[in-house]
Every structure is written in C-alpha cells, then in structure tokens.
Amino acid sequence: MQVDQTIHTPVHGLVIKQPEKRTMPSAVIDGQKNLVGLSREELMDALQEIGAEKFRAKQIWQWIYHHGTTDFTAMSNIAKPMQQKLAEHFVIARPTISKDMISFDGTRKWLIDFPDKNRVEVVHIPEEDRGTLCVSSQVGCTLTCTFCHTGTQKLVRNLSAAEIVGQVMMARDCLDEWPTPKEGRRLSNIVMMGMGEPLYNYEQVAKALKMVMDPEGIAISKRKITLSTSGVVPVMEQCGRELGVNLAVSLHAVNNELRSEIVPINRKWPIEELMHACRHYYPEGGSSGRRITFEYVMLKGVNDSDADARELVRLIKGIPAKVNLIPFNAWPGAPYECSSNNRIRAFSDIVHAAGYVTPVRTPRGQDILAACGQLKSDSERKKGEKVQL
C-alpha cells in the first residue's frame, strides 16, 4: 500500500510536500503477519490460509478488539494446537511507545514509533463525563496551514489502518480499558484531530474507523467519533455516507482571500464549495439533529473582528452547526498571537446571539505541547517536553 498521491495535485501557489514513497511497514513483523488492521474479511482469508475454520475469525476478532488480547495462548475457546499454529504465523502487534508524558491537567501524550522510524503523537484528554482520544492519520501533513505546527513538519506519509487503530489499542492498554467496559469508559470518544489530514488518507482512516465502530470490537459509536478536515470537499460526501461520523470543519476564515492564505487547501476548494459539502454531509439530513462543528482558530488582528463574526453567521446560515472557537496555541517560531479574551468573548457573543452554541475550547496539555496544532514529531520537539513518566 503506497501513499495515494492522486488527490495531491498541486494547484497554483499551493505548496504541497511530496509524501514519502514507502510501503507500509507494519503488515508483516519478523515474517509473521500482523492481524491488527485486517478487515473481518481479510482476517477470515488469513485464517483460511493456515487451515483454520472460518468461524474462528469472529472469535479471534473479539479477542483482539474486545478483550485486547495480544497472546494467542490466552484465547480460551481455541484448542492448544490451533493456538500454537496461530502463534507460528501471526502476531497481534502494537505500535511502540517511545515517550509517555502527562500534563499537570491530566492530559496524556504518547509519542509512538513505527518500524520505519516514523513517529506520531496520540493525546488523551480526560474530562468528568468522558475521555477523548486525539488520533493521528498521517506522519506530518502535506498541507501547510500557516498557524499549525504539524504543517511545518517535512516528513510525510500516510498511516495504515493498523497504525491508526493501533493508536486506539495502545491507549486502551495504557488506560487499562480491556475488555471493553460498557459504562464509564476512560476512552469514550475519538477525534481524528491529531497529525495529518484524515481525508487525504481516507481509505485507511475508513478501514480503521470501521474497526473502532464494530459492535463486536472496540464498539465506539459513530456519534462519539469526530473527524476534522481542512476541507477535502470531494471526499466529504463519501465520508458522511460510508462512515457517518461527526464532522468538524476547520474554517478559520470567512473570505476566500484570507482563507487561501492561512488554510491553503482553500485555493483548491473554496468556501462556497466547502459550505455546499457541509450542507449535504449527513445522509440523514437536517432533521436528524446532527450538527457540523466549525472550528475557528482565534488569531489576533487576523480573523477575529466583529465583522468576521457577522460574516461567519451569514456563511453558515441554515446549517445545523456549532462553532468551536480555538484560542491559538503558540509553538516555537509561530507567526501569530492569540486573540485577547475580550476579543474572543465579543466574537463568541455575536455568533451565540445568532443561535449557535459557541464554546471556546480550553487548551489542554500545553506544558507537554499536546494542544491543538502543537503536535509535531521531530527532534525539535524535545525542548517542549517537560513532564515525563
């Protein structure tokens, strides 16, 4: 599986880093096939190849994704000789954790390594009534939003489904969440808001999320999963139809001139096309009560005026929506400052008065650079890592 370059066609003025042409590293480990990341059908095929009965696939699936088992000898409904045979041919792998950091506010960030030495970050945000895992979809990002630290990272490749679902499984290992608890989960929600643009790696993201949503597996429902996109318009409709997860859209500016500057993908799919895709995202339609979240990073003197707020209201008119204002999180060398609290409040008041829920996102895990847009997995990052377990 290679990085899909077909939708990465550069357009005028849009600088897109070329993804590394590498094959996915973790499908086979020391000659043994990794069962994590295979769809149910692929798992069935793999088992048939070694002479196991078809019905074993359902049992093994549950061991892997419901119980979190990594050891074939723990699979108590499978006879010993078959356990042995499975162990000869397969592994149930996890990504390697190279750093495990916890912030003063309880936010936890893992740096995980893949066999090709690429790394991504995964963040867990505990709250009173839920726990959210922020999952990465790519190493780095081919896009270059001017306020985003990930966008400055040079090395870019897509993650495989195994590497994406592997982040969730690794977090559940660390949070001691196996077997899947029915209530009171520490990992109850997933946001595809880590490193990368998930809709530029749709195939693998979709495969991984189907495993996460599977009721006999990790069993996190589509309503507890949110995918954030900078606006890959042609893939949005497919994502709504096939996955139906909640959608968050990184809007950040209300006119094409500014948005093209700070979110360069806008040169390819401008605001009007993006809004059209938002209106048609949920196949259930407007009556379902499902909303689009518009994310709006507050950049001092750039996009935070009253006029911007009023234009935002005009743009999203008629779309069931919530507007998430994100105070800009600084990173070393960032060219922006965050808007003042008063400015953020004034902006929020205007949008709120128009009938939209307008939460201001509280930055979490700032001391370990785990907040939105601060993720970057190269060695420069070591300076920011203060607390280490």
- Which residues would be at the binding site for ligand SAH (CB under 6 A)? 141, 145, 147-148, 193, 197, 228-230, 250, 295, 297, 326, 328-329, 372-373
> CB nearest ligand SAH: which residue?
373
> What CA–CA distance (Å, rounded) separates 232 from 277?
9
Q: Residues with Cβ < 8 Å from 382, sequence gap 6 or more?
A: none
Please name every residue paired with 297 in a beta bridge, in sequence order, or none if there are none: 326
Q: Per CB under 6 A, which region of 4-12, 116-124, 142-150, 320-328 contacts ligand SF4?
A: 142-150
As a residue count, the chain comes to: 389
Minimum CB separation of residue 372 from ligand SAH in Å reads 4
Active site residue 121: yes
Is 145 a binder of ligand SF4 (CB under 6 A)?
A: yes
Side chain identity, residue 119: R
Of 96-104, 144-152, 310-318, 378-386: span binding ligand SF4 (CB under 6 A)? 144-152
Is residue 239 part of the annotated active site? The answer reads no
Question: Restricting to residues 245-274, which ones interact with ligand SF4 according to CB under 6 A?
Answer: 250
Nearer to ligand SAH, 269 or 328 (CB): 328
Q: List CB contacts of 326: < 8 A, sequence separation 6 or more.
A: 295, 296, 297, 298, 360, 361, 372, 373
Q: Tell me which H or E stretch contains 88.
A: helix 80-89
Tokens of 55: 């019905």
The DSSP letter of residue 333 is T
Q: Which is nearer to ligand SF4, 144 or 167 (CB)?
A: 144
Name the phi and psi angles at 12, rounded to 5.
-50, 125
Q: How far is the CB of 229 from ligand SAH (least distance, A)?
A: 5
The DSSP bridge partners found for residue 192 are 227
The stretch among 26-34, 143-151, 178-186, 266-274 that binds ligand SF4 (CB under 6 A) is 143-151
Q: How far apart are CA 210 and CA 219, in angstroms?
A: 9
Q: Which residues bind ligand SF4 (CB under 6 A)?
A: 141, 143-145, 148, 150-151, 196-197, 230, 250
